[in-house]
Amino acid sequence: MSYVRKEISIDEIKKQEEICLQIKEILCAEGKQPMALVDTYGCQQNEADSEKLRGYLQLMGCGFTDDEFLADIILVNTCAVREHAEMRVLGNVGSLNHTKKNKPDQIISVCGCMVQQQHMADKVKKSYPVVDLVFGPHELWRFPELLLKHIQSHKRVFSRCESDGVIAEGIPRNRDSKVKAWLSIMNGCNNFCTYCIVPYTRGRERSRRPEDVVAEARELVAAGYKEITLLGQNVNSYGKDLNCGVDFADLIRMINDIPGEFLIRFMTSHPKDATEKLFKTMAECEKCAHQIHLPVQSGNDHILKRMNRCYDREKYMQQVEMARSYMPDLVLTTDIIVGFPGETDEEFEDTIKLCQDVRFDSMFTFIYSKRQGTPAATMPDPFTREQKQVHFDKLMAVSNAISAEKHKAYEGKTYKVLVDGETGKDEYNLSSRTNGGRLVHLKGDPALIGKFINVKITSSNTWALYGEIDNG
């Protein structure tokens, strides 16, 4: 698919950084540090984008707060994938009326996928006068410039770039964790699944150059990060647009070659593009986690076709089998949509059957949400929300039972885990993840955060494992 790749030069990013310093002078004029709040919805790509927004805000001299009444600048980084996500955003933005009343100079900005849709940008403009600045994902790199425009003009700024191929290197980052890092390897999506808004909000697939990705991975390892998650809407098509001879499996190998003790994870993989080479590479690269999130969406061929997923049940099952033959300990997770327009009881039962056949370690299940402008939005959708809910509940019960059984099998065994944070609870104060990404709660010294340790699993439920440090 053709698109215009628009690389933002390092000079342009430098210019944005200079604008940050200009804003710092304005905001810090009264000798008080301005506070910022970045509220993030949606996927890990959005989390990674928010780290860039916070990187810019930090250069502007901002500190960070979770309290919207204390914030001088509020940025709401939105998601459009389901109506529920948009409703939550609009509800929260609406409630900022109160905070701005208390603090009339407060700057409120809404960015991200939701406002890349013209109708939502228009809605915010018309119905949410409290919002000062709106920009879509393609303009994140020039957030400082847009913010300065608002600060200097005191006018509302709405900027929505139609370009579908922006790619920017070198934006400063303020990362959330010191242990786990997001590493975005590509932007956009070319798949146009008929239900999905992402290709419209994020533009066409464009890969970062392998040398840029590897350089960032090296920096992360040097900075002490122990887990790097490679991000893209469809990481399996990495590199196709660059024609540089490096595909996703090659990229994993290049990162695996970086010296140091760390884990490589990635998401999301599209089943139509997962290859034997990828599974083989995962098995051979000792730093690559044996974990794959492979969204199947439905177990029925007719629905898969109408979703434009470009694979059928048989191809999916073959891939699962192949992946497991290379990695018998593979942790496999998936996404499922229940209630796609016109999905019958029989078609839904095929999904249940597939889940029972595959036995996913865990599943993310969603009720279909109509997205304006997507092909599925015009398909007849005769079934009620209540009927879909019945299917959803049934699928959840099946999924939860399988997860609980799979977790039970961990009990009594010892696994190497990466301790990644504190839980805030007394009994099990630390959280950690197995190589396959399963959550393990344990009790221990917070100094263990960022370390790989052995843990014996003592109990489990549907959602998590519980264990004790095994020094033996």
Kindly list the residues in this chain that would bind ligand SF4 in the complex (CB under 6 A).
189, 191-193, 196, 198-199, 233-234, 270
Q: Are strands 73-78 and 35-40 parallel, antiparallel or unpaired?
A: parallel
- Give ∠ CA 308-390-437 in degrees, rounded to 5: 65
Among ligand SAH, ligand F3S, ligand SF4, none, residue 369 binds (CB under 5-8 Å by kind): ligand SAH
DSSP per residue over 411-463, as a string?
TT-EEEEEEEEE-S-SSS-EEEEETT--EEEE---GGGTT-EEEEEEEEE-SS
Q: Is the dihedral of CA 406, 411, 413, 419 positive or negative?
A: positive
Looking at 19, 23, 36, 46, which residue binds ligand F3S (CB under 6 A)? 46
* Closer residue to ligand SAH in complex, CB, 315/451: 315
Determine the distance from the C-alpha atom of residue 309 to the mean position of all C-alpha atoms in its chain, rounded to a whole number: 20
Looking at 13, 20, 38, 43, which residue binds ligand F3S (CB under 6 A)? 43
Looking at 57, 337, 440, 465, which residue binds ligand SAH (CB under 6 A)? 337
- In the shown chain, the binding pattern of residues 347 to 386 toward ligand SAH, with x for contact by CB under 6 A and - for none, equals -------------------x-xx-x---------------
- Measure CA of the first residue to CA of the last residue in the chain; give whole Å: 55
Segment interacting with ligand F3S (CB under 6 A) among 119-127, 158-166, 194-202, 427-435: 194-202
Closest to 64 (Cα-Cα) out of 40, 42, 43: 40
Kindly give the residue spans of alpha helices, DSSP state H, lying in 203-329: 210-222, 248-256, 276-284, 301-306, 313-326
Looking at 117, 236, 291, 297, which residue binds ligand SAH (CB under 6 A)? 297
Side chain identity at residue 292, one-letter code:
I
Segment interacting with ligand F3S (CB under 6 A) among 79-87, 164-172, 298-306, 463-471: 79-87
* Closer residue to ligand F3S in complex, CB, 45/269: 45
Determine the distance from the C-alpha atom of residue 456 to the mean position of all C-alpha atoms in its chain, rounded to a whole number: 30
* Closer residue to ligand F3S in complex, CB, 42/239: 42
Phi-psi region of 308 (alpha: psi -120 to 50; beta: other; left: phi over 0): left
Among ligand SAH, ligand SF4, ligand F3S, none, residue 192 binds (CB under 5-8 Å by kind): ligand SF4
Q: Is 185 in the site for ligand SAH (CB under 6 A)?
A: no
Q: Are strands 206-207 and 157-159 parallel, antiparallel or unpaired?
A: unpaired
For ligand SAH (CB under 6 A), the number of binding residues is: 17
Contacts of 339 by beta carbon, 8 Å cutoff, 6+ apart: 367, 368, 383, 385, 387, 388, 391, 392
Q: Is 50 in the site for ligand SAH (CB under 6 A)?
A: no
**Contact status, residue 239 vs residue 250, Cβ threshold 8 Å:** yes
- In the shown chain, the binding pattern of residues 76 to 115 toward ligand SAH, with x for contact by CB under 6 A and - for none, equals -----xx---------------------------------
* Closer residue to ligand SAH in complex, CB, 27/337: 337
What is the nearest approach in angstroms of ligand F3S to the Cβ of residue 308?
17
Closest to 434 (Cα-Cα) out of 451, 449, 421, 416: 416
Q: Is 229 in the site for ligand F3S (CB under 6 A)?
A: no
DSSP per residue over 375-402, as a string?
GGGGS---S-HHHHHHHHHHHHHHHHHH
Among ligand F3S, ligand SF4, ligand SAH, none, residue 229 binds (CB under 5-8 Å by kind): none
* Closer residue to ligand SF4 in complex, CB, 192/428: 192
Side chain identity at residue 355, one-letter code:
C
Beta-carbon-side half-sphere exposure of residue 124 (alpha carbons within 13 Å): 34
Q: Residue 25: how many CB atoms within 10 A of its CB?
A: 10
* Closer residue to ligand F3S in complex, CB, 81/214: 81
* Closer residue to ligand SF4 in complex, CB, 193/398: 193
Q: Is 295 in the site for ligand SAH (CB under 6 A)?
A: yes
What is the nearest approach in angstroms of ligand SF4 to the Cβ of residue 114?
15
Rounded CA separation 77/49 (Å) = 8
Binding residues for ligand F3S (CB under 6 A): 42-43, 45-46, 79-81, 113, 197-198, 201-202
Binding residues for ligand SAH (CB under 6 A): 81-82, 195-196, 198, 233-234, 268, 270, 295, 297, 335, 337, 366, 368-369, 371
